[in-house]
A and B are shown apart, each in its own frame.
Chain A
Amino acid sequence: MRRFLTHADGRLKSGRIAFLLFVGLIVCFSLAYRFARPVDRVMVAVTHMFNAQPVKTAPEAARPQEKPAKPVEAKPAAPELRQERSGPPVENKPAKRESGEQAVPRTGESLDKGKMDKGKNRSRPASAKKPANITTAPAAPPGTVLSEKEKTDEGVSLTLEGKAYESIYRQWREAGGNNRGALSLRIENLREVYPLLQMKAVATLNGKPYVDLSDGSRVAEGALESYSSTRFLVSDPFEKWPDALARAGLVPSMRVEVWYYTYDFIRNAIYGRAWQAIDCAIQGGLIPAETDPASMDLLGRAYAVKRKGGGGFAVFVPIRVDLPGDLPGGRTVRIDPSCFAGNGDVAALIAAGILR
């Protein structure tokens, strides 16, 4: 050992000793690093902060009560998504507070999750039955400059100038007044347009919210309270969100589901449009008037409407209604877009040639 470390004259072999010291230092730090690491990997929980403001609510008697969760079975021929209600019964709880509505997005601001401006709650009570008149909103204002349609990641989208965009956005929000309750509802292309509907994609593990798929962060307790109890279930989540689920450590052998959490005003607008479609089909004799709405299954598609300079949202347009097999007139009823010609957003899509 002495000869390994020293020369014959007693001088140290400095290069060799320095190397051994260096390696020893690295080993010491490695041991310290290893012992200092926790046994379990720490998951960082991110608390999502929202700027929701308290809003004026309608009197208790007129407010809609959320019904208990009702699972909806997926149909084999269905496109991508099913809608399902979730959440505990609320009969013994105060009525769910409507989240603040967002003002019209400004230039450069897209309708992204969590950006909630102050606003007043304009939703009308869902329990109030509306007449079967399908026109619930005025058409696009005259002189509207409708800009080009363009292919984007969200599919074909419509780009509008400022005032037309704001007007159409308001009309889309007001469509929520026609909401008369839950329906079995599917949206075709929600994977592409869910951000424009201000939805949050959350993966649940064993029934509990686990990870936010948009940024991979853990979902903190209470982070989803401001969302509606109505959420959309994703079919084949591992086909649609393979990378995000893999990054979160979720595999198909686990009990994993992916849900799109939505705000109340978006849900109301979607449902309002769905009811509008059903009313139109009943009026046109395509669906018997006595058909139980609970037995219908409505399929629709979301279309992106963007503002020149920045900002955008998506609107829901029903495409068809599937009926029980024993009803006359067949099982599937196609919804004509002209049913919504009175709605400014659909009128703009028709005028741009996106809807026919």
Chain B
Amino acid sequence: MGFLKWFLQNFGMFFGGLFLVYIYMILRRLTVLYDFLRHVQAGEEQTRMPVGRDPALAFLSPFFDRLRTAKGGSPAVEAVIDAIWSEVDCRISVHFTAINGYINTLVLVGFAGTIFGSIGAFNEMFQGLAKGRAASRVFIDSWNLGLSTALYTSLGAAAIGGFAVTLLYSRFLMTRAKRLETMIGLRIVEVLEKGDTCQEENNEAVS
């Protein structure tokens, strides 16, 4: 509780609350991404081929089943493939985009907090000097009534943004996301080439 009290005092009630909300939203998106990407191979390993019924592609199983039943060469195949990539955008890419958006917004919120805090700090400073108060008192009041908000919001935005960007583009997330796209492409080819040979896919999945 002491930390929350300090946080809200120094960041301000509004900006502090906003920061906490954004941190929660970023964590939520990262959790969803982790859920989708945790089964994908990480690091520099070769992508497994054939892909087969990889657990990482479990969320696209209905789409692959639909692709399997589509007649080869018909427009339905292209439509299903487009639907698969749209689904990947909807379930994976949107979270990357959202987190990027949150980070950009946090930077702007930090900037707004700096302006807001500076206004409060200068107002307090000029009032104090005009009233002839002691300089130490004026500086303490300026810190408490704006300067801390101005500095901490900028620092917070930079820290959270930097951490989130580092995590986004880390091997844990971005590499796996790209590998997932690779696996989806390979799986589409496998389904199209093998047609409706479900038995062969089951054998490959087992081996």
Knowing A18-B24, A112-B132 are in contact, say whether A26-B31 is a contact too (CB < 8 A).
no
CB of A202 to closest CB in B, whole Å:
13
Residues of A within 8 A of B34 (CB): 12
B3 and A12 within 8 A (CB): no
Do A215 and B27 have beta carbons less than 8 Å apart?
Answer: no
How does the 8 Å CB contact mask read for A58-69 relative to B, with 1 for contact and 0 for none? 000000000000
Q: Cα distance A30–B4 when bound, in Å?
A: 8
Which of A14, A18, A25, A217 is in CB contact (< 8 Å) with B137? A217
CB distance from A169 to the nearest CB of B (A): 18
Partner of B136, one of A9, A110, A215: A215
**Considering the chains assembled together, what is the distance between the CA atoms of A22 and B23 in angstroms?**
8
- Considering only CB atoms, which chain A residue lies closest to B25 in the complex? A18
Min CB–CB distance A37 → chain B (angstroms):
8
Closest to A212 in B: B134
Inter-chain contact B136/A46, CB cutoff 8 Å: yes
- Bound Cα distance from A17 to B133, whole angstroms: 51
Q: How far is the CA of A120 from the CA of B32 in the complex (A)?
A: 78
B73 at the interface (CB under 8 A from A): no
How distant is B45 from chain A, measured CB to nearest CB, in Å?
Answer: 23
Kindly state whether residue A142 has any CB partner on chain B within 8 Å: no
Smallest CB-CB separation from A18: which chain B residue?
Answer: B28
B35 touches A33 (CB 8 A): no
B136 touches A217 (CB 8 A): yes
Is there contact, CB below 8 Å, between A34 and B2?
yes
Known contacts being A26-B3, A26-B4, A33-B3, is A216 close to B137, with CB within 8 Å?
yes
CA distance A11 to B38 in the complex (A): 11
Residue contact B134 to A14, C-beta cutoff 8 Å: no
A9 to B39, alpha carbons, bound, how many Å? 14
User: Which residues of chain A have C-beta atoms less than 8 A from B32's C-beta?
Assistant: 14
Q: Contacts of A22 on B, CB cut-off 8 Å? A: 23-24, 27
Is the Cβ of A14 less than 8 Å from the Cβ of B136?
A: no
Which of B23, B31, B59, B132 is close to A14, meaning CB atoms less than 8 Å apart? B31
Are B28 and A30 closer than 8 Å at their CB atoms? no
Chain A residues with Cβ below 8 Å from B85 are none
Q: Decide yes or no whether B6 CB sits under 8 A from chain A.
A: yes
In the bound complex, what is the Cα–Cα distance between A271 and B79 (angstroms)? 103
Partner of B35, one of A11, A21, A29: A11
- In the complex where A110-B132, A112-B132, A217-B136 touch, is A21 in contact with B31 (Cβ < 8 A)? yes
Query: Within B97-125, which residues are at the interface with A (CB < 8 Å)?
Result: none
Residues of B within 8 A of A29 (CB): 3
B contact patch SS: helix
Expressed in whole angstroms, the Cα–Cα distance for A26 and B1 within the complex equals 9
Q: Once the chains are docked, how many angstroms separate the CA of A164 from the CA of B59? A: 92
Give Cα A32 to B30, complex, Å: 24
Interface size on A, residues (CB 8 A): 27
Q: Can you list, as one digit per residue, whether each of B82-105 has a CB less than 8 Å from chain A (1) or not (0)?
A: 000000000000000000000000
Q: Mark A183-219 against chain B: 1 for CB-CB distance below 8 A, else 0.
A: 0000000000000000000000000000010111100
Cβ contacts under 8 Å, B27 to chain A: 18, 21-22, 25
Interface: A325 (CB within 8 A): no
Contact (Cβ within 8 A) B35 A30: no
What residue of chain A has the Cβ atom nearest to residue B133's Cβ? Answer: A215
Contact A215 B137 (CB under 8 A): yes
A15 within 8 A of B: yes
Determine the distance from Cα of A10 to Cα of B34 in the docked complex, in whole angstroms.
13
User: Which of B1, B3, B58, B59 has the largest number of chain A CB atoms within 10 A?
Assistant: B3
Q: Which residues of B contact A19 (CB under 8 A)?
A: 24
List of B residues within 8 angstroms of A33 by Cβ: 2-3, 6
Q: A14-B32, A18-B31 are in contact. Are A215 and B2 (CB under 8 A)?
A: no
Contacting pair A25 B35 (CB below 8 A): no
CB contacts (< 8 Å) of B1 on chain A: these are 30
Measured in the bound complex, the distance between the Cα atoms of B55 and A112 in whole Å is 78
Q: How far is the CA of A14 from the CA of B24 in the complex (A)?
A: 12
- How many angstroms between the C-alpha atoms of A216 and B141 in the bound complex? 12
Contact call A14/B28, Cβ cutoff below 8 A: yes
- CB pair A215–B24 under 8 Å, yes or no, is no
Q: Is the CB of B31 within 8 A of A17?
A: yes
- B134–A15 CB distance below 8 A: no
- Residues of B within 8 Å of A17, CB to CB, are 31
Interface residues of B, Cβ cutoff 8 Å to A: 1-4, 6, 23-24, 27-28, 30-32, 34-35, 55, 58-59, 132-134, 136-137
21 contacts between A and B (CB under 8 A): A9-B58, A10-B58, A11-B35, A11-B59, A14-B28, A18-B30, A18-B31, A19-B24, A21-B27, A21-B31, A22-B24, A22-B27, A25-B23, A26-B4, A33-B2, A34-B3, A46-B136, A110-B132, A214-B134, A215-B136, A217-B134
Which 5 pairs between the two chains have the least Cβ-Cβ distance? A215-B134, A18-B28, A215-B137, A30-B3, A33-B3
Extra 19 A-B pairs, beta carbons < 8 Å, given A34-B3, A215-B133: A11-B35, A11-B59, A12-B35, A14-B28, A14-B35, A17-B31, A18-B27, A18-B28, A18-B31, A21-B31, A22-B24, A30-B1, A30-B2, A30-B3, A33-B2, A33-B6, A46-B136, A112-B132, A217-B136
